[in-house]
Chains A and B, each alone.
Chain A
Amino acid sequence: MRSRVAAAAGAALAVVVLLGACGKNTGQGNKVDNGRTPTGVIATDPKDSMGPAAPVPGAANGGTVTIIRQAKISHLDPQRVYSFAGLMTAPLYSRSLTTWRDDGKGHLTLVGDTAETPGKNVNNDCKTWEFKIKSGLKFEDGRAITSKEIAYGIARSFNPDLTSGPTYIQEWLADTPQYDTKWDFKANKTSLPPGLTTPDDKTLRFEFAKAHCDLPFAVSLPSTAPLPADKDTGVNLDLQPFSSGPYKITKNTVGVELVLERNTNWDPATDPVRHQYPDKFVWSFGADPEAGANRVISDSGADQTALAWNGIPSSLVSKVAGDQSLKGRTLLEPTPSANRLTINTQRVTDLTVRQALNYAIDRDGLIKSLGGETVASPLTTLMPPSTLGWKQFDAYPAGKSGDIEKAKSVLAGKTPELVLGVSDDKDGTEVGTQLKNNLEKAGFKITVKTIPADAKLDETKKKNNPWDLYADSWAADWPSGASILPPLFDGRAIKAEGNSDTSFLNNDSINAEFDRVLAMDPAAQATEWPKLDERIMKELAPAVPLYVDVAYYLHGSKLGGLYVGSIFGYPAFTNAFVKP
């Protein structure tokens, strides 16, 4: 009977051999270079908004680009698209009023997409905006795109059935967050929402009750995509959107596969940013992040032209970074997703406690526990470096690992008892462990309260949530402080649930400052937001800025033209091509 044990031991031995011997890790050569500061302009010359887009060096026509992702894209209907995967895919099959020309290195130009220019501020008060629509635009069935279809697209975003999409334009037109009661889409399908008019087929006009200087940015989201009324299938459009871009959806197996093929009615001469190099884009869903990355590393068959959308998981980073042969196939850029430790200022009312938290934070340790510098890059400002006009400052300089002594002296003997809410999944609980160990060194008493992962976001957004600290993340919809600081810290918008101002900061002087800056020209705003960022941090410390997510992607050896988009920090497909 000993033989049974022996057989089992033999099998165990086989496992050991299989795992392979491991060399010594000396930590040398594992350095990654992060950091870029963006510049942005709004193109006023219609020529900048005309196509065709400059050819991509080395690009060739043909082939199939595969994108491997764990979960399906939550929505495809342009009026409902708001997830990163959706926002990066939508440009392939839908065109918006404006769009960003992006070189992937932070040089941004806002250009007209279906519009000839990024809008005209008619009376220079940001209340009336006019867009001239380009000629030669066509839907996938060859019909011409006019201002009417664009207006219909905006009108249908008022439909309460079509949840999940951005709500800026609806709220601005209706001048209330309750826009769907102000104007009932289902009862008025043939008319347009208040303030939206189409004087002729080439003109689209927005008239707002209040100034909205950010409109040219806001209409770059896919929710301004055109749609003919007779193609509106309600919620079912989500499965089969009607294309106005260079590709159209030819097959959609929910949760398994999404196939986009060339749309022959798209005219490159009208398009300043998109190309049409590959024959097909195929989203392949199901593989977890490890599997996706492993497939692309092994680089065989169809995966030679594949991208692992979920990025390189922290468990595989050292393998990829240490392999010189993979160097040419990686993309590594910091993203605009800024993570902060939110301090609930309704509960933590003592400013010195909030400041001490800022001194005590060990960003280096936190980033290591998250997976190192290819996963996260330290941040000391509320706005991420990708914001136009951003300036580096540190209101509470404490070195990369925090200054425990300084924090202790600010606390002056106090030992505040704080409850840190974290999601109960692997990442959340590990961050909880890390922060607790870190902050308790400075004298805080931290209770880590786990919240079911699926409910954490809903719960922390409730005004009366019972926690003092929680990790939050914010990704702006356009790279302006206007889409970061006011949503996060304007306390006049606080309501019972669904708050973005999860610090529940409500400071009259700061609010007034928001109003002042928001009424300025977007270009002038860019220098004002960083000043306000610093002021909020120094005077109020409503959060501890932690890190920005770092995008670290790997693609197959025959895939070219990919870059990390500067707006959302995810891979962009407009220049993608298959190497011959």
Chain B
Amino acid sequence: MARFLVRRVLSATLTLFAVSVLSFLMFFALPKDPVTGMCPKNCNAERLERVRQELGLRDPLVDQYVGYMRGIVAGRDLGSAQGGHCAAPCLGYSYVNSEPVTSTLSRVLPVTLSIVIPAAVLWLALGVGLGMISALRRGTAFDRLAIGFSLTGASLQLYFVGAVLLIVFVYNLKVVPVQHYTSMLENPAKWASGLVLAWVALAFLFSAIYARLSRAQMLETLSEDFIRTARAKGLAKSQVYGRHALRAAITPIVTIAGLDIGGALGGTVITETTFGIQGLGRTAVEAVRGGDLPTVMATVLISAAFIVVANIVVDVLYALIDPRVRLQ
């Protein structure tokens, strides 16, 4: 287990390094010049060029990259145009937001976590719950309804569902407040009511795959010999399904959940935009559009880290859930 973890962490570090290099290069190929955005109406080319030099955009790419990475580890001095000294972990200064990128991240990360984690709990509970019950009541009206519901969700667009939810519940029925992030520590009730539509929309779209999967897995497991043996031994239905069948069916669900949650934590751009909530995804998109390199780098790295970590967690969970899996 320990050796496995070390190997995975090393490989993950290498992945993140490659992600950082690639996103750095990608950014410099962009047609958007980060500096002309600062240009007022009567723009002066020479003055702009001085700004570019001041911001270090004329340094060789390698120097810029090394400087950025060193800043993360040891902090760096950015000059008065970028707010002076930037302590480690320094992710740079965003001249678009007029603040250090670490401030941006510490503001938007809790937002994305608040959207994704409760939504994931909801979609897992809903999806797996529907799937399991459908499997046990195979062929009944409930089964058909549940599958129809989940397939409908899977075939819709998030921004469509979001727009309908907003128009019905916020603008017309007025039973849900305008979607807006409030810190959970500050006011849990406002936190929940301000994000509930985002959770519902994500859960509706994401639960489909879990419902179909858990239904199929459950059906398959139920026909396995060990379940028949357990039933024959006279174990109670609930015990057989709950302990044995569920456990065997859960492995592939964990795999997908890990990927989905890891991906979603990297930014739910469309959800955030639809509901007007400023999280990681939207920040990343605005940074790419605004030519805001330090913010692009930071958001890409964080998103990638979430996915990489989610992958490792899934592997470890595998071993914990299923004793047959051995990590090597």
Contacts and interface: CB of A to CB of B under 8 A. Distances in A.
Task: Report the contact-size class of chain A (Cβ under 8 Å from the partner).
Answer: 35 or more
Given A177-B47, A186-B80, A254-B107, A300 B97 contact: no
B36 A298 contact: no
Interface string B9-44: 000000000000000000000011100101111111
Contacts of B145: 7
Contacts of B170: 294-295, 298
Interface string B189-230: 000000000000000000000000000000000000000000
B43 to A, nearest CB: 3
B56 interface: no
B46 interface: yes
A165 B50 CA distance: 16
Contacts, number: 162
Contacts of B80: 161, 186, 234-235
B178 A295 contact: yes
Nearest to A451: B31
A269 interface: no
B31 A235 contact: no
Interface stretch (A281-289, A440-448, A518-526, A560-568): A281-289
Given A18-B164, A254-B107, A82 B33 contact: no
A497 interface: yes
Interface residues of B, number: 62
A517 interface: no
A182 B166 CA distance: 55
B177 interface: yes
B42 A161 contact: no
Contact of B38 (A10, A164, A234, A236): A164
A166 B141 CA distance: 68
B121 interface: no
Interface string A446-470: 0000001011011001000000000
A102 B167 CA distance: 37
Contacts of A291: 166, 276
Interface string A1-23: 00110111011100100100000
A500 B45 CA distance: 12
A239 B99 contact: yes
Nearest to A19: B164
A163 interface: yes
Contacts of B32: 452, 454-455, 458
Contacts of A62: none
Given A235-B82, A495-B45, A163 B38 contact: yes
A235 B83 contact: yes
B297 to A, nearest CB: 18
B98 A8 contact: no
B152 A301 contact: no
A333 interface: no
Given A178-B47, A454-B31, A498-B39, A238 B98 contact: yes
13 contacts: A6-B144, A11-B148, A70-B276, A164-B39, A164-B40, A166-B40, A177-B42, A254-B97, A284-B180, A298-B172, A301-B177, A454-B31, A455-B33
Interface of B: 31-33, 36, 38-48, 50-51, 54, 80-84, 95-99, 103-104, 107, 141, 144-145, 147-149, 151-152, 155, 163-164, 166-168, 170-172, 174, 177-178, 180-181, 273, 276-278, 283, 286, 289-291
Given A3-B141, A164-B39, 8 more contacts: A11-B148, A165-B40, A236-B83, A291-B276, A455-B33, A498-B39, A498-B44, A498-B48
